[in-house]
């Protein structure tokens, strides 16, 4: 950690406006600001992406509305531990302390740079990339793409025309577009927001796309991301998207480096979602059941679980998105669900994940187990 963190940081106060923060971020090309209290002591962090995604009026909204506490790390902490804390907290920029003294900040980019500097950097991109990513056609409306992102818990998608890569679009691009549109025409409000989502992807997609091959070394891929100031790369073969690799795809294996015991493990993070004691017991029981069922087949795997709330409310309850991402020697599996009840959406997402695993080619030798399971969950006609 000592060699990767940044000693310089910009401090703001909780009563500053978001407009002031945006000007600081733009001026110094920063990704994160440190929030200080009236005695200039550390209090929280604020990230540029949070400001844009909030779509709040930056001239009147205070920092305290969006600032978020983040785990503190020290110079003695390993890169693996820092990566794990970032994933668990959902905050990719953490404050670095020596006892009570704030020394600087460490970002996900810093952690990745440090990790690829050793032998791991010679590993090929194919080992961490997401295979067969969701792609969108260049003439699809932004609203359709935004729904795809929300439904599957993804943030980037290659844009294609006749199957060939022509651009890339991200959640940030879409929300930034909506934000800027509403800033230009604040009185039109919701109507203008809807109009902003009707334009075709090709009007907003980023091109040319920064690409790599599946055989590219991680060290080279990281250098490309850094030099091009992008958070994702599209993996191509003969001009067609084969996979995608993001900064989170780098972080997840880094977070596993210190674990030597071969077993199926779970990493859980929740953003703006309250999980009470009874719900935690329920989730733990579901985890245990899943591990007993698939632990032998998916040994040394890790299951990442993300819970995140959306702005929509129903009877006073917030809409919650649940996303599962399982990485194992047998392959990668993904599932998601949405709803207003933590236990219900968790069980649905886990159910969908189990179906994927049982239907995968890697578990063909467990056909009888799969058939028995599918019959038990009311899929009598399922064929494997």
Q: Which residues contact 33 (CB under 8 A, 6 or more apart)?
A: 9, 10, 11, 12, 21, 24, 25, 45, 46, 47
pLDDT at 282: 82
Question: Who has greater pLDDT, 204 or 299?
Answer: 204
Q: What is the 3-state secondary structure (H, E, C) of the chain?
A: CCCCCECCCCEEECCCEHHHHHHHHHHHCCCEEEEECCCCCEEEEEEHHHHHHHCCCCCCCEHHHCCECCCCEECCCCHHHHHHHHHHHCCCEEEEEECCEEEEEEEHHHHHHHHHCCHHHHCEHHHCCEECCCCEECCCEHHHHHHHHHHHCCCEEEEEECCEEEEEEEHHHHHHHHHHHHHHCCCCCHHHHHHHCCCEHHHCCECCCCEECCCCEHHHHHHHHHHHCCCEEEEEECCEEEEEEEHHHHHHHHHHCCCCCCCCEEEEEEECCCCCHHHHHHHHHHHHHHHHHHCCCCCCCEEEEEEEEEEEEECCEEEEEEEEEEEECCEEEEEEEEECCHHHHHHHHHHHHHHHHHHCHHHHHHHHHHHHHHHHCCCCCCCC
Residues composing the chain? 384
Lowest mean pLDDT among 127-131, 256-260, 334-338: 256-260
Residue 370's pLDDT is what?
A: 46
Tell me, what's the pLDDT at 261?
Answer: 52
Give pLDDT, residue 377.
Answer: 42
Say if CB 336 and CB 323 are below 8 A apart: yes
pLDDT at 303 over 70: yes
Judged against a pLDDT cut of 80, whether residue 331 lies above it is answered with: no
Alpha-carbon distance of 102 to 72, in angstroms, equals 9
More confident call, 244 vs 274: 244
Instruction: Report pLDDT digits (tens) over 347-379.
Output: 888 888 888 887 775 444 444 444 444 444 444
190 or 96, greater pLDDT: 96
Give tens-digit pLDDT for 3-30.
888 888 888 999 999 999 988 887 777 7
Among 87-91, 323-327, 343-347, 357-361, the minimum mean pLDDT is found in 357-361
Sheet containing 130-131: order of strands: 130-131, 240-246, 232-237, 211-212
Domains of the chain: 11-117 (3.10.580.10), 123-251 (3.10.580.10), 260-376 (3.30.160.100)
pLDDT in tens, 204-227: 999 999 999 999 999 999 999 999
**Among 83-97, 149-163, 247-261, which is the least confidently predicted range?**
247-261
- Please tell me the pTM assigned to this model: 0.67
Least confident of 92-96, 246-250, 330-334: 330-334
* 59 closest CA partner among 10, 13, 21, 27: 21
């Amino acid at each position: 950690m000592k060699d990767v963190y940044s000693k310089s940081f910009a401090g703001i106060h909780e009563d500053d406006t978001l407009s002031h923060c945006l000007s600081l971020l733009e001026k110094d090309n920063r990704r994160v600001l440190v929030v200080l209290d009236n005695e200039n002591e550390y209090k929280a962090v604020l990230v540029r992406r949070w400001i844009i995604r909030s779509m709040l009026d930056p001239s009147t909204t205070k920092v305290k509305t969006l600032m978020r506490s983040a785990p503190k790390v020290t110079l003695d902490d390993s890169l693996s531990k820092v990566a794990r804390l970032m994933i668990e907290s959902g905050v990719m920029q953490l404050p670095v302390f020596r006892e009570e003294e704030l020394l600087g900040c460490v970002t996900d980019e810093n952690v990745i740079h440090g990790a690829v500097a050793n032998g791991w950097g010679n590993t090929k991109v194919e080992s961490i990339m997401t295979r067969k990513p969701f792609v969108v056609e260049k003439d699809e409306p932004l609203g359709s793409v935004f729904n795809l992102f929300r439904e599957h818990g993804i943030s980037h998608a290659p844009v294609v025309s006749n199957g060939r890569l022509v651009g890339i679009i991200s959640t940030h691009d879409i929300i930034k577009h909506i934000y800027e549109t509403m800033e230009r025409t604040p009185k039109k409000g919701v109507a203008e927001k809807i109009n902003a989502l009707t334009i075709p992807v090709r009007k907003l997609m980023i091109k040319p796309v920064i690409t790599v091959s599946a055989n590219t070394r991680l060290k080279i891929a990281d250098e490309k991301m850094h030099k091009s100031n992008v958070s994702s790369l599209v993996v191509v073969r003969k001009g067609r998207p084969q996979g995608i690799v993001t900064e989170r795809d780098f972080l997840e294996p880094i977070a596993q480096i210190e674990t030597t015991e071969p077993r199926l493990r779970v990493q859980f993070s929740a953003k703006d979602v309250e999980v009470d004691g009874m719900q935690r017991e329920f989730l733990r029981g579901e985890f245990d059941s899943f591990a007993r069922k698939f632990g032998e087949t998916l040994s040394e795997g890790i299951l990442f679980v993300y819970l995140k709330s959306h702005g929509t409310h129903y009877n006073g309850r917030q809409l919650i998105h649940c996303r599962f991402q399982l990485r194992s020697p047998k392959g990668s599996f993904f599932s998601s669900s949405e709803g207003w009840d933590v236990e219900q959406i968790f069980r649905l997402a886990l159910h969908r994940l189990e179906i994927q695993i049982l239907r995968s080619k890697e578990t063909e030798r467990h056909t009888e187990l799969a058939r028995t399971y599918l019959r038990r969950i009311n899929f009598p006609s399922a064929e494997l």
